[in-house]
Amino acid sequence: MRKSLMSLTVAAILVLMSGANAQPTDVSPAGYVPDAKTAIRIAKAVLAPAYGEPKIEAEEPFKAILRGDIWTVEGHLPEGLAGGVAHVEISKSDGRILRMIHGK
């Protein structure tokens, strides 16, 4: 009985460890963030809780520029207003937020 329990435990650990290093197989060649529209939606989703939805909505329209594998998304400051805007950098290939700041 002890031997079978130990075998099951070892098997479970091996299964869990193999899943930790598994690579996604359903990723499009374009990556998880294939276009500017998706990058902007992700940026707004992470900015709103951090800086407040009204402040982020006031920076519409957002623009997204792809440089290499990194989307840079920035808010827009209406002409005549002083201040900074939101800035988010997102990995195109895996969707990670690489940097998020808001100017003053």
- What pLDDT is recorded for position 6? 54
* Residues facing 87 on adjacent strands: 74, 101
pLDDT one-digit tens code per residue, 30-72: 899 999 999 999 999 999 999 999 999 999 999 999 999 999 9
Whole-number Å distance between alpha carbons of 15 and 51: 41
103: three-class secondary structure by DSSP:
coil
